[in-house]
């Protein structure tokens, strides 16, 4: 496999059996960075990690020069639910996950903010801001808000940056851009016009400095579908040429890339990593 030298490239790795396994998987795939869940993202229970394991985990990351470390939030967290019980459970899990991410030395904690059609934006911002403020002071880890395929607060670039600015928490570090979500939200990055629309809106409504991470995924659904369905790189509607053009954007050329493409076996990760590495090698030669 071609090894990218210019910017960190990695995948979402498994913590099955032991969190250390995620590092071994990243090492096997010759990654420079990686992303994990701290537990099953579809259950509320989160097991504790003992101090010895935390120290071993941090040491193994250092030994393998893996940077940055990214943690992805549980899918269950909904800070703006209409159900008080869900909000309370979400706040508890959010705090546990972010503090655990910080203890593990994670650089970023990525979260999809849910939408609520019954709430005005101001109420949504208040609830999210309040939840973030209850986390406490972090040593290193910063929360990134990920763009989504469909939402009044995170799908359009203008709304995403409006949300970032209005929450304005000390624990916020910026945003994560997912290419599949961007495409599904109506930004046709398979074409130059779509990439221009994206870059112009970032400059108009925010700043490229707020973008800290790229989730690099193809899309199973057409542009503007509003449906979040990841596909193998080059096998979806964005296509190889789309990724060549997207990865040419100078302002994001230094950012870490994380693949969240479909995975039935490690071979799937190898194939997708190889495709991206080949694109990057041509762009950076």
- Contact predicate 44/76, CB 8 Å: yes
Residue 280 placed within a domain: yes
Residue 66 placed within a domain: yes
Alpha carbons 171 and 136: distance in angstroms, whole number: 8
pLDDT digits (tens, 9 = 90+) for 99-115: 999 999 999 999 999 99
Domain of 146?
9-284
- Position 184 confidence tier, pLDDT thresholds 50, 70, 90: very high
Residue 44 is part of a domain; what is its CATH number? 3.20.20.150
Count of other CB atoms within 10 angstroms of residue 159: 18
- Contact predicate 256/8, CB 8 Å: yes
Residue 3 placed within a domain: no
Mean pLDDT for 166-188 is 97
Number of domains in the chain: 1
Mean pLDDT for 20-46 is 96
Residue 19 placed within a domain: yes
Residue 217 placed within a domain: yes
Residue 1 placed within a domain: no
Whether omega before 68 lies within 30 degrees of 0, making that bond cis, reads yes
Residue 45 placed within a domain: yes
Paired residues of 236 in beta bridges: none
pLDDT of residue 285: 75
- Contact predicate 64/111, CB 8 Å: no
pLDDT digits (tens, 9 = 90+) for 58-96: 999 999 999 999 999 999 999 999 999 999 999 999 999
- Contact predicate 134/167, CB 8 Å: no
Alpha carbons 190 and 137: distance in angstroms, whole number: 41
The per-residue pLDDT of the chain, averaged, comes to 96
- pTM (2 d.p.): 0.96
Residue 116 placed within a domain: yes
């Amino acid at each position: 496999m071609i090894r990218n030298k210019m910017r960190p490239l990695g995948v979402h790795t498994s913590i099955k059996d032991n969190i250390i396994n995620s590092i071994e998987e990243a090492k096997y795939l010759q990654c420079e960075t990686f992303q994990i869940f701290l537990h099953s993202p579809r259950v509320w229970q989160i097991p504790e990690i003992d101090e010895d394991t935390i120290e071993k985990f941090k040491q193994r990351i250092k030994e393998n020069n893996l940077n940055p470390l990214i943690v992805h939030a549980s899918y269950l967290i909904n800070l703006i639910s209409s159900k008080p019980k869900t909000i309370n459970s979400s706040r508890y899990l959010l705090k546990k996950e972010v503090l655990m991410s910080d203890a593990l030395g994670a650089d970023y904690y990525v979260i999809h903010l849910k939408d609520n059609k019954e709430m005005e934006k101001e109420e949504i911002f208040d609830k999210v801001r309040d939840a973030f403020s209850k986390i406490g002071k972090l040593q290193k880890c910063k929360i990134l808000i990920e763009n989504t395929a469909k939402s009044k607060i995170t799908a359009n670039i203008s709304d995403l940056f409006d949300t970032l600015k209005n929450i304005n928490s000390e624990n916020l570090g910026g945003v994560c851009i997912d290419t599949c979500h961007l495409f599904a939200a109506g930004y046709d990055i398979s074409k130059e016009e779509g990439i221009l629309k994206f870059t112009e809106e970032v400059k108009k409504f925010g700043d490229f400095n707020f973008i800290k991470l790229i989730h690099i995924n193809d899309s199973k659904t057409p542009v503007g579908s509003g449906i979040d369905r990841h596909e193998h790189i080059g096998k979806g509607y964005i296509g190889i040429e789309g990724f060549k053009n997207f990865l040419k954007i100078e302002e994001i050329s230094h950012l870490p890339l994380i693949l969240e493409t479909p995975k039935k076996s490690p071979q799937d990760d190898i194939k997708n990593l190889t495709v991206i590495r080949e694109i990057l090698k041509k762009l950076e030669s």
